[in-house]
Amino acid sequence: MKTLVLGGYGNFGARICRALASSPGIELLVGGRDLERATAFAQSLGGNARGIRIDVQSPDLAQGLGYLGVGLVIHTAGPFQNQDYRVPQAVAAASAHYIDLADGRRFVCDFPSALDAAFRDAGRTAVAGASTVPALSSAVVDHLTAGWQDIRSIDICIAPAQGAPRGEATLAGVLAYCGEPIRVWQDGQWTERLGWADPVKVQFARMKPRRGALCDIPDLELFPARYAGVQSVMFRAALEVGLAQQAFAFMAWLHRVGLLPAPQKLAPLLHSAGRVFDALGTALGGMVVRVTGTDAQGKAARRAWHIASDDNHGPEIPCMAAILLARRLARGEALPLGAHACAGLLALSEFEPEFARWGMVTDVVDETPPPTS
């Protein structure tokens, strides 16, 4: 299967290309606006990988994909917060499959209704959000609550290592909602809270506690619909260096009072200046998913899934779902036709070999309080 990775030499695209270059049944195309960089990176991968110049803004994108004979496009060229659907529309017109790493809430949540008909007509599959959220997060929730009678709350926190490589586009994406009101499902109703404001302490199994703040992701909207009866869904990000977390909270305040109209414009500056904090951090990052509800025996339950990733390997996690789905397609395994948000398409067990490959350690902890006498 000829597979084109858009943004193939970028922060996440390069990781996906390295994983797929040696995967059976895949002919890899590394796509980007800089042909020299794409070609040099493709050559470093060996095998039959090759670099191509491609502009996702081109009105001839669909024709170009058809001319190349592409069977799958993996879109990693974010940020997705303000992108339209011209790329997946072109992919559908070229009768190819589509996967992206989008974490933009509107992009992922509106994706099925906007594109399902086009991909069904083409007889192909399109998946948005094949990343840590909602692909891995939904797999974890499904695993933790298997057999439960109901789910009451879902609380997720991602805690990146300070030293892990980070992309400017990713930073621009998270800054886009800094200080913006975010719609969240709390106590069985919708309310609004400010992004990156009011951080709270979060406990991890193999890391020191960190302070995490609200971020706007698809799960906040997808999970109340996916898990009937859930009363609260929360997602936070916890930066390792407290000064950095405080800086984001301060920017949220500046934006709220009108002194910082567009925080995302600071992405290039913060991307280069972020290394100043590296000496204060480590190479250890992770994630925790906590759920409460009623278990199969009708008892109150609280469980948590943790992952710890050392050696700055954390950025491999957002790439895993796209890699796993691409390999499925290359093996000829069917995925549901049409357009989908990537919730429930992968089981947690499918991620576990990838965790092991990078030396990541997971824990499932029963946090149910003992019964009071």
CATH code for position 159:
3.30.360.10
Q: Which domain holds residue 151?
A: 133-314+354-366
Instruction: State whether 150 and 252 are in the same domain.
Output: yes
Closest by CA to 161, choosing from 271, 311, 288, 15, is 311
Cis amide linkage into residue 134, ω under 30° from 0:
yes
Residue 165's pLDDT is: 67
Instruction: State whether 306 and 340 are in the same domain.
Output: no
Residue 173's pLDDT is: 79
Residue 166's pLDDT is: 66
Instruction: State whether 120 and 37 are in the same domain.
Output: yes
| Torsion angle of the four alpha carbons 353, 354, 358, 364, in this order, in degrees rounded to the nearest 10 | -70
Instruction: State whether 209 and 103 are in the same domain.
Output: no
Instruction: State whether 358 and 298 are in the same domain.
Output: yes
Distance of alpha carbon 130 from alpha carbon 120, whole angstroms: 19
Instruction: State whether 218 and 291 are in the same domain.
Output: yes
Provide the domain count of the chain.
2
Distance of alpha carbon 135 from alpha carbon 116, whole angstroms: 18
Distance of alpha carbon 1 from alpha carbon 330, whole angstroms: 6
Instruction: State whether 324 and 307 are in the same domain.
Output: no
Closest by CA to 223, choosing from 364, 366, 108, 81, is 108
Model-level pTM? 0.93
Instruction: State whether 173 and 110 are in the same domain.
Output: no
Retrieve residue 44's tokens: 């470093």
20 assigned to some structural domain: yes
Counting Cβ atoms within 10 Å, is residue 154 exposed (0-12), middle (13-18) or buried (19+)?
Answer: buried
179 assigned to some structural domain: yes
User: One digit per residue, pLDDT tens: the chain, 373 residues?
Assistant: 999 999 999 999 999 999 999 899 999 999 999 999 999 999 999 888 999 999 998 999 999 999 999 999 999 988 888 899 999 999 999 999 999 999 999 999 999 999 999 999 999 999 999 999 999 999 999 999 999 999 999 999 999 998 776 667 777 877 888 999 999 999 999 999 999 999 999 999 999 999 999 999 999 999 999 999 999 999 999 998 888 888 889 999 999 999 998 888 888 877 776 666 676 788 999 999 999 999 999 999 999 999 999 999 999 999 999 999 999 999 999 899 999 999 999 999 999 999 999 999 999 999 998 877 5
Retrieve residue 223's tokens: 């999970």
Instruction: State whether 99 and 209 are in the same domain.
Output: no
| Largest pairwise CA distance in the chain | 72
371 assigned to some structural domain: no
Give Cα 157 to chain centroid, integer Å.
13
Instruction: State whether 191 and 291 are in the same domain.
Output: yes
Instruction: Give the domain CATH number at 26.
Output: 3.40.50.720
Instruction: State whether 161 and 76 are in the same domain.
Output: no
Residue 226's pLDDT is: 97
Instruction: State whether 254 and 124 are in the same domain.
Output: no
373 assigned to some structural domain: no
